[in-house]
Chains A and B, each alone.
Chain A
């Protein structure tokens, strides 16, 4: 072996050792530099003492001791490194990733600014937020979600057909929201304000999954995205609330009342821009920070199960019928949505190959008790709808949603039972849930497009 090949081999060994060191979260590139210099000092000395480069390297590494112990000592001094930090720009490791995250951030800033401008643009045509509440209630999703879709489509280099589909669907949403002659106090207006965001959110989902819209895995990713986005959005909204509170009271103290600025500018612009920022945050941090929605699911599944079972026991014990007044159906719709959310987000975090456990049984109990309650409610309410109140758009929509959720949960319970008995694999449940997404989209579009003419714009 010549001296040159020896040196080359040594360089390769150092490279390998460095990669090994950098796998530790406690050790950063600058630490690796420092330790490598140490190792080289040690190797040089051993070579000078007569060892071959190979031997010198082995002895030097051995002397440095186990990497476990070393990183433990480093962790004691740098405990902050054990907390995963979201690095927004710079220090992302490689220069390529660095420029990518910087470009993402600029795209996000542009989209957020676009959303903020777009919600103020109608004022140019005399539609003021204070006076034309109905216009903004129907349209608010149209000021935020298209921008989020633009950001996602840009990030995924969406192809032309997809972009055309997105534009067409958002256009359809805009037409549905504004073409019908709905009075300010009409029921259909409320329904449109609730269902258009749902329909448009699933259009955002189309931008999210991009070309793989048939893939169950990508759809599940979109469900994860939805959960995290919601949590980030709520956090941003809380921060915005604190900011406006301080703004209001500090300016109040010097005799200026910034109420109009806050309600006309800060809140609407902040809300639509926040929707884009939340989407960007989820994209930027998805591999850095643990998903929080599944953690909340774990926490609340047992609690909700206990609450629902207690309710069922109370109904059976007192033999009280459920008092179905006007809001009952909506309340129980919301309950089903919460149960579905608990189910979805624990599915989203579950390893499909893991064996069945106690938590799966708990989930089955949760779903079955929710179903039992819902069936009681439906039995009580269908009789009333037909003879007492008659059908209104609100009641028809609530009933339709209830049936859609009921069908979903009933089949989910069946699949869960079969999974617990080891008859079907877990992925069957996952595929059922992701396959069901278009049903929600279809229903939301039906409510937005067909309900107003069906109920003659009341």
Chain B
């Protein structure tokens, strides 16, 4: 199963902000973490992650700093800001609303009958 592209894109911001809320991190580690959390189902590309990180920085939700690791290698670390935390809380409220509503719907459907296709022509 692959998660649809739109859904991946919509959930990307709260996920990254959530991971950064745990402590500062860098691109590769964030990607690994998302892979872990979704059991490999969320297929993020670098083209999604890095422009998103740059956008969060531009909007003031995250701050970045270059740190050197292992000799000459430099790594760009991202840290969440207060504004980012506020945005995370807001996104979380919105996502809770959506998931709660969805859960209600799934539950209601499960009580009545299993999902099967009803041929349209049978009504007559």
Tell yes or no: B51 within 8 A of A by CB.
yes
Interface 9-mer from A66-74, A247-255, A332-340: A66-74
* Chain B 27-70 near chain A by CB (<8 Å), digits 1 or 0: 11101000000000000011110111011001000000010000
Interface 9-mer from B14-22, B71-79, B82-90, B96-104: B71-79
Let me know if B45 and A65 touch, CB within 8 A. Answer: yes
Interface hub of B48, B51, B52, B54 (most chain A Cβ within 10 A): B51
**Could you tell me the distance between the alpha carbons of A42 and B31 in the complex, rounded to whole angstroms?**
10
Let me know if A37 and B46 touch, CB within 8 A. Answer: no
**Could you tell me the distance between the alpha carbons of A165 and B33 in the complex, rounded to whole angstroms?**
71
Let me know if A77 and B51 touch, CB within 8 A. Answer: yes
Let me know if B76 and A72 touch, CB within 8 A. Answer: no
Query: Which of these, A37, A65, A70, contacts B28 with CB under 8 Å?
Result: A37
* Chain A 67-99 near chain B by CB (<8 Å), digits 1 or 0: 001101110111000000000000000000000
**Could you tell me the distance between the alpha carbons of A69 and B51 in the complex, rounded to whole angstroms?**
12
Interface residues in B, total, Cβ within 8 A: 20
Let me know if A76 and B45 touch, CB within 8 A. Answer: no
Let me know if A33 and B51 touch, CB within 8 A. Answer: no
- Tally of A-B residue pairs with Cβ under 8 A? 53
Nearest CB to that of B47 among chain A residues? A73
Query: Which of these, A37, A64, A65, contacts B74 with CB under 8 Å?
Result: A37
Interface residues in A, total, Cβ within 8 A: 20
Query: Which residues between 35 and 69 of chain A lie within 8 Å of chain B, taking CB atoms?
Result: 35, 37-38, 40-42, 64-65, 69
Tell yes or no: A34 within 8 A of B by CB.
yes
Q: What is the distance, in angstroms, from A453's C-beta to the closest C-beta of chain B?
A: 69
Let me know if B50 and A34 touch, CB within 8 A. Answer: yes
Let me know if A65 and B73 touch, CB within 8 A. Answer: no
**Could you tell me the distance between the alpha carbons of A40 and B76 in the complex, rounded to whole angstroms?**
13
Give chain A residues whose Cβ lies under 8 Å from the Cβ of B28: 37-38, 41-42
Contacts A38-B27, A38-B28, A77-B55; is A33 near B47 (CB within 8 Å)?
no
Give chain A residues whose Cβ lies under 8 Å from the Cβ of B47: 65, 69-70, 72-74
**Could you tell me the distance between the alpha carbons of A37 and B49 in the complex, rounded to whole angstroms?**
14
Give chain B residues whose Cβ lies under 8 Å from the Cβ of A30: 76
Query: Which residues between 102 and 127 of chain A lie within 8 Å of chain B, taking CB atoms?
Result: none
Nearest CB to that of A68 among chain B residues? B47
Q: What is the distance, in angstroms, from A413's C-beta to the closest C-beta of chain B?
A: 54
Give chain A residues whose Cβ lies under 8 Å from the Cβ of B51: 73-74, 76-78
**Could you tell me the distance between the alpha carbons of A73 and B26 in the complex, rounded to whole angstroms?**
19
Nearest CB to that of B27 among chain A residues? A38
Let me know if B46 and A65 touch, CB within 8 A. Answer: yes
Give chain B residues whose Cβ lies under 8 Å from the Cβ of A38: 27-28, 31, 46, 50
9 extra A-B contacts, CB within 8 A, seeds A41-B28, A65-B47: A34-B76, A37-B26, A37-B73, A37-B74, A37-B75, A41-B29, A42-B28, A70-B47, A73-B48
Give residues in B with beta carbon < 8 Å to A.
26-29, 31, 45-48, 50-52, 54-55, 58, 66, 73-76
28 contacts between A and B (CB under 8 A): A31-B50, A33-B74, A33-B76, A34-B27, A35-B50, A37-B26, A37-B73, A37-B75, A38-B31, A38-B50, A41-B28, A41-B29, A42-B28, A64-B45, A64-B46, A65-B45, A65-B46, A69-B45, A69-B47, A70-B46, A70-B47, A72-B47, A73-B45, A73-B47, A73-B48, A73-B51, A78-B51, A78-B54
